[in-house]
Amino acid sequence: MEGQVAVAQVVINRTNHPKYPDNICDVVMQTSQLKASGHPKLNSCQFSFFCDGKSDIPTDIDAYRWSQHVALGVLYGGYPDHVRGATHYHTVYVSPKWRWIKEPVGLIGDHLFYK
């Protein structure tokens, strides 16, 4: 749960940052490249779920409901910002180039967070 809250907080932190869109939907669907069809190219999105090529229709209703609970808790201030203003994160299994120009703020689970 701590990791889910942390990722949700990154989304909120981006909506509050002038460099990113000012609403949640635009933040999570932000992409750098589109196909001719207008859909995002694989792996061109800020949040990988949006352009991983998989269906976004929930198949695990319990997990979906839990994610809604977490999201609403973060949105309405039910959890403190444990990522201290982070606007970026990645799993420890990858090494994005941008990590060298961001300030690391912590590790939660197997994700590193930066601002």
Which domains can be identified in the chain, with CATH numbers?
A: 2-82 (1.10.10)
pTM tops 0.75, yes or no: yes
Cα dihedral 110, 70, 56, 112, rounded to 10, equals -20
pLDDT for residue 68:
95
User: pLDDT per residue over 38-60, tens digit each?
Assistant: 554 555 567 776 677 788 899 99
Q: For residue 28, give the H/E element and its range.
A: helix 24-28
CB 16 within 8 A of CB 7: no
